[in-house]
Structure 1
Amino acid sequence: MKILKKAFKIFGLVVLALMASICIYACASVPKLSKSDKAMIAAVMQAPLPELVNGETGFADSQSHRIWYERIRPEKNVKGSVLLIMGHGNDALSWPPDFISGFTDQGYEVIRFDHRGTGLSTSTEKWKKKNAYTLTDMSEDVIAILNTIGLKKAHIVGVSMGGMIAQLVAINHPEKIETLSLIMTTGDALGEEPEPMSEELLPKMISAVLKHGVFGGKKGKIKLQLVQRKLLMGDATGDIDVQEMAETSLYNQVKRDGYHFITARHHQQAILLSSSRYAPLQKIQLPTLVIHGELDPVIPISHGKKLAETIPNTSHFWVANMGHDLPEAAIPEICEEMMLHFEQSK
């Protein structure tokens, strides 16, 4: 019996040592923050937080979910409405302020919202894998927002998973769409063609959560947002507005409901439950713009090219120095391209 207990003890120590080694190796693969990054984060934590929600806010009821949204109006007369659909695991505040002002400065109102399980959106039902919601369900959140606001149509813009949701809105509710803009997304996340989506980044993203997000407190979660942004850039180069990202992260933690890491798993399940959309996309007749970064480390640009070839009446814009994010340097030209897209649809 003593020998057996000793064997179990040794086995336990070996397992712990192995897990520790894996964690050390995994954390070593995470990009390191510079001294200036850390100094800026420390400064933001000491300074008063700016108000990041200045528009008209409300909730839309969709199935068992209450979806929080914000309606940001321009100073000029409203030319139209732009509804933004963010990627998986992210909320309304993930949209870069310059991207939003790129529309409002040109007279368009912007509507952004918190996905299910993020920000201030809530549910009356606990998520269970056996009855998990799908991307089609999440597309109904968009319709619920438009109906709650009283908008007949909007320019629909989706990035990554948000682009997948936007496709389903176009397939099932084309009458609600003025124009469709699909950014760094795909018509089939699980397909082998044009090429499989990259899985190399996922372990690094998880490692970043282990290193910064679990025990790091508020400062750790700010670091996590910054590190994950660096990972999503891939081989693309360019500066990141660290102050802006730190203020957004801290605002989310202090004035909203913070971050729920498990939500990313729920959204991933929604993606896994979805089938290819390429066949129905061939039938939509909506002015469509496909935008993709040539250096996207998550969804290769070949997916954007296949979307552009599949959807009728589609134009495209390939961004040379762009990964799986909206880089500050590329936002002006992306917004300019989208303005042309909106105007040409009239």
Structure 2
Amino acid sequence: MSRFCWPRGWAPTGCGFRTGCAGCWPRRASPWPGTTSATAASRPTCRPPPPATPSPHSSPSVKRHTRRRTWQMMPSPSWTRWGWRSAHLLGVSLGGAVAQRVALRHPGRVRSLTSMAAVPGDTSGLRAMRYIRMRTLAKFARLRFPDTREGAVAAGIAVSRLLASPRRPFDEPAAREAAERNADRGIHDQQAQSRQIGAQWHGPPISAITRPTLVLHGEDDPLIKPSAGKAIASRIHDSRLVLLPRVGHEIPECAWDTVATEIRTLATNSRQLPPAPGN
């Protein structure tokens, strides 16, 4: 659900998964290293969004109203257009909150739920601030980069450095490679960050989630406190909490095996449960 690239050389495909992402379309690909033809990934490729068109929702009052109702009008998950009736859902950071909300709105479409480095999906606005490290937000606010591709790459490296665990040497070459592969000028858009924090949720509480759930959180997360992961796990029945040592707000190589194994175990165990309503 989150806007991020699988680290080069890794995805949960070695455990038998086909991967896709919100806003992406899967395509056939030859097996990645470590996979067989039976477990090869459908590696996602992103289509550019359609050109922006003038909208009647351009006035501030309508924008606020539209944003306030965003989560009330959540459509069917995007993977339905790929022909997938249901999926194992992984969301990281804001994507974790979105994944929780999808599991609430569309339980029949979700086989299992993994929420990583996220706040509770029913917590929004000022209530979410209790889980946010304000010092890190202040550092984000001080970042200044030109609105160019080079500036986006530099911003990506700076953000990766801020979000990495302080108990592990920062891998700048890897951060640069990731930033160059996914140069996103919106990464230092403070207005976008404000919209994310301020988006409201008008649905049921996460305690109503019935799908098998895994909660992952880095012990050293410098942006979202581990108490957020603990709160999610305490409120979703039969969920499992895994705190990742030496991990920040990221998926570093040292955590790849653990993350993939935990997701694979969750998926395997979910097969033994009755299907969700509507599935």
TM-score range, shorter chain: 0.7 to 0.9
TM-superposed CA distance for 1:292, in Å, is: 0.7
Q: 2:68, 2:254 → 1: CA distance?
A: 31
> How many pairs align?
243
Contact 1:190 1:197 in 2 (8 A): no
1: CA distance, partners of 2:68 / 2:225: 21
Using structure 1 for the length normalisation, give the TM-score.
0.61
- Asked if the contact 2:72/2:202 (under 8 Å) is kept, the reply is no
Question: Which residue of structure 2 lines up, in the alignment, with residue 205 of structure 1?
Answer: 140
Aligned equivalent of 1:293: 218
* C-alpha distance in structure 2 between counterparts of 1:176 and 1:250, whole Å: 34
Amino acid at match of 2:208: K
Larger Rg: 1
The structure richer in strand per residue is: 1
Q: Deviations over 1:299-333 (max 9, x none)?
A: 11111101101001201111121111112211211
Partner of 1:96: 7
The superposition leaves residues 217-269 of structure 1 with CA deviations (integer Å, 9 ceiling, x where unpaired) of 544432221121110125332442x444333433445xxxx523576623531
Residue equivalent to 2:152: 221
C-alpha separation between the residues in 1 aligned to 2:20 and 2:72?
A: 15
Q: Contact 2:186–2:192 at 8 Å: present in 1 too?
A: no
State the alpha-carbon separation in 2 of the partners of residues 142 and 264 from structure 1: 27
| Partner Cα distance (1:224, 1:325) in 2 | 16
CA distance in 1, matches of 2:179, 2:240: 35
Distance 1:220 1:183 in 2: 28
1:334 equivalent to 2:259? Answer yes
Paired amino acid for 2:227 = S
Name the stretch that deviates more: 244-253 or 133-142. Answer: 133-142
Percent identical pairs in the alignment equals 21
Pair 1:313–1:142, CA change in 2 (3 A) = farther
Contact 1:136–1:168 at 8 Å: present in 2 too?
Answer: no
Distance 1:125 1:246, change over 3 A: farther
Q: Is the 8 A contact 1:119 1:252 kept in 2?
A: no
Q: Is the 8 A contact 1:252 1:259 kept in 2?
A: no
| 1:343 alignment partner AA | T
C-alpha spacing 1:246/1:194, structure 2 compared with 1 (3 Å): closer
Instruction: Choose the corresponding residue for 1:246, options 176, 182, 199.
Output: 176
- Aligned match of 1:72: none
C-alpha separation between the residues in 2 aligned to 1:98 and 1:136?
Answer: 39
Whole-Å separation in 1 of the counterparts to 2:217 and 2:142? 26
The answer as to 2:43 corresponding to 1:113 is: no
Gap change, CA 1:140 and 1:301, over 3 Å in 2: same
Which among 167, 177, 194 is matched to residue 236 of structure 1? 167
Distance of aligned partners of 1:275 and 1:289 in 2 relative to their CA distance in 1, 3 Å threshold: same
Q: Note closer, same or farther for the CA distance 1:260–1:301 as it changes in structure 2 (3 Å cut).
A: closer
- State how far apart, in whole Å, the 1-side matches of 2:13 and 2:74 are: 23
CA pair 292-149 structure 1, distance change in 2 beyond 3 A: same
Write the distance in 2 (CA, Å) between the matches of 1:135 and 1:167. Answer: 18
Unaligned runs of 5+ residues in structure 1 are 1-84
2:79 is the alignment partner of 1:146: yes
Q: Distance in 2 between matches of 1:145 and 1:139?
A: 16
Q: CA deviation at 1:286?
A: 0.6
2:229 to 304, 310, 314: 304
* Structure-1 residue corresponding to 2:186: 260
Q: What SS class does the counterpart of residue 113 from structure 1 fall into?
A: coil
Distance 1:271 1:175, change over 3 A: farther
Distance 2:68 2:258 in 1: 30
1:181 is displaced (CA, Å) by 0.3
Cα RMSD for the two superposed structures:
3.2
Which letter does structure 2 place at the counterpart of 1:143?
S
Q: Offset at 1:282? A: 1.2
